[in-house]
């Protein structure tokens, strides 16, 4: 039986319309067509589709600060009410200045009047634009991940949340890397609340999920394991994803990073997937952050994984044999995106 799919229809309302990279607005890769391509492939494969259940702000503040949630919810309206859309003519919410910790001698930064400056209190980069329908889509993606977790806790063996925008770069109080709220972390937290902890999050996206790591860095109730392109080779998120980040306090040893060299292909990548599965030993449930941007021709990463590699990864993680929520993260080659996701899900079903 194909896995249930939770699909947040409102994802189409999020149209970042590019990203600001080193000060230049370039064509983005986190496009509405990503969601449509994945949905089309799974509809064709006969997967049953479900909508996300409505959520409230308190469902989000289990992971995120009220400040971040409030900012994301109101940023577009604030921007519209400011002069930026006409002077200088910026039609997306973009940060303008950042309150780095040392600037304020350790004192909490005051709340600025300008929305451009306020954005700098929550954004970790300039690439992650907020437009007219961004909040509706972000909220629906979070709701889809939460719905999938609820379904799993109610007895479904595994559920796939086909969400965009992705989530794993977003932390308790910050957004970035095309992510706004951390869908996978919200699912993991809900599983804990429904007595399915300890949870292991296995992150297969090509990039390190710095947000998920930060959210759970000091707890062992949710372990975080990730394989990703080595940030030391010059890749986003640049400051995080190194092997010596192992967790802190009660979370000591509950964080595992496996950085990989550019060009890493199936064999070495799958060996790392096996290590992540072993790291999950003893967990009562699992969340898979399913980025498929490690695909060999993905425009955002130099890893060299094939469709068959993702299918094998699906079978490997299924062998952990615990209730599982699979949450979509990155993956940007539209011509192969559907095949990569379906390949992983097929592999998962065969591996159970």
Residues carrying an active site annotation: 169
Rounded-to-integer distance, Cα 7 and Cα 146, Å: 12
Number of neighbouring beta carbons within 10 Å of residue 46: 8
Beta strands in the chain (DSSP E): 5-6, 19-21, 24-26, 49-50, 158-161, 199-203, 222-229, 255-260, 285-290, 324-328
Site string for Zn ion, 192-231 (x = CB under 5 A): -------------xxx------------------------
Site string for ligand SP5, 142-181 (x = CB under 6 A): ------------------------x--x-------xxx--
Site string for ligand SP5, 281-320 (x = CB under 6 A): ----------x-x------x--------------------
Residue 349 near residue 315, CB atoms below 8 Å = no
Considering only residues 193 to 222 of the shown chain, the ones binding ligand SP5 according to CB under 6 A are 205, 207
Closest distance to ligand SP5 from the beta carbon of 340 (Å): 13
Q: Does 330 bind ligand SP5 (CB under 6 A)?
A: yes
For residue 236, the partner it binds in ligand SP5, Zn ion, none, with Cβ less than 5 to 8 A by kind, is ligand SP5
Contact pick of 120, 197, 330, 343 for Zn ion (by CB under 5 A): 330
Residue 258 near residue 275, CB atoms below 8 Å = yes
Q: Does 10 bind ligand SP5 (CB under 6 A)?
A: no
Closest distance to ligand SP5 from the beta carbon of 228 (Å): 10
Number of neighbouring beta carbons within 10 Å of residue 190: 24
User: How far from each other are the two terminal CA atoms of the chain, in whole angstroms?
Assistant: 11
Dihedral sign from CA coordinates of 325, 33, 124, 180: negative
Dihedral sign from CA coordinates of 124, 220, 256, 338: negative
Closest distance to ligand SP5 from the beta carbon of 299 (Å): 7
- Give the footprint of ligand SP5 on this chain (CB under 6 A): 21, 127, 166, 169, 177-179, 205, 207, 236, 291, 293, 300, 329-330
């Amino acid at each position: 039986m194909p896995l249930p799919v939770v699909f947040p229809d409102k994802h189409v309302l999020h149209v970042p319309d590019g990203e600001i990279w080193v000060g230049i607005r370039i064509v983005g890769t986190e496009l509405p067509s990503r969601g449509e391509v994945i949905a089309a492939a799974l509809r064709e494969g006969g997967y049953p589709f479900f909508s996300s259940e409505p959520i409230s702000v308190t469902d989000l503040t289990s992971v995120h600060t009220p400040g971040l949630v409030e900012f994301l919810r109101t940023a577009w309206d604030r921007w519209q009410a400011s002069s930026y859309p006409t002077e200088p003519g910026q039609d997306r919410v973009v940060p303008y200045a950042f309150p780095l910790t040392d600037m304020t001698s350790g004192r909490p930064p005051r709340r600025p009047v300008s929305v451009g400056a306020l954005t700098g209190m929550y954004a970790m980069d300039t690439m992650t634009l907020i437009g007219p329908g961004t909040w509706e889509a972000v909220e629906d993606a979070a709701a889809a991940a939460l719905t999938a977790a609820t379904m799993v806790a109610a007895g479904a063996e595994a559920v796939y949340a086909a969400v965009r925008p992705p989530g794993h770069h977003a932390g308790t109080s910050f957004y970035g890397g095309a992510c706004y709220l951390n869908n996978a972390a919200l699912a993991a937290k809900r599983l804990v609340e429904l007595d399915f902890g300890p949870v292991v999050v296995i992150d297969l996206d090509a990039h390190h999920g710095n947000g998920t790591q930060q959210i759970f860095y000091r707890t062992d109730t949710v372990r975080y394991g990730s394989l990703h392109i080595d940030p030391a080779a010059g890749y986003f998120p640049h400051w995080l994803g190194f092997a010596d980040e192992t967790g802190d306090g009660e979370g000591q040893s509950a964080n595992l990073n496996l950085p990989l060299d550019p060009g890493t292909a199936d064999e070495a990548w799958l060996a790392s997937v096996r290590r992540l599965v072993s790291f999950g030993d003893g967990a009562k449930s699992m969340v898979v952050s399913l980025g498929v941007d490690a695909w060999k021709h993905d425009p955002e990463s130099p890893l060299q994984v094939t469709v068959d590699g993702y299918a094998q990864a699906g079978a490997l993680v299924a062998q952990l044999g615990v209730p599982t929520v699979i949450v979509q993260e990155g993956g940007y080659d539209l011509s192969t995106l559907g095949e990569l996701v379906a390949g992983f899900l097929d592999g998962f079903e065969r591996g159970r």
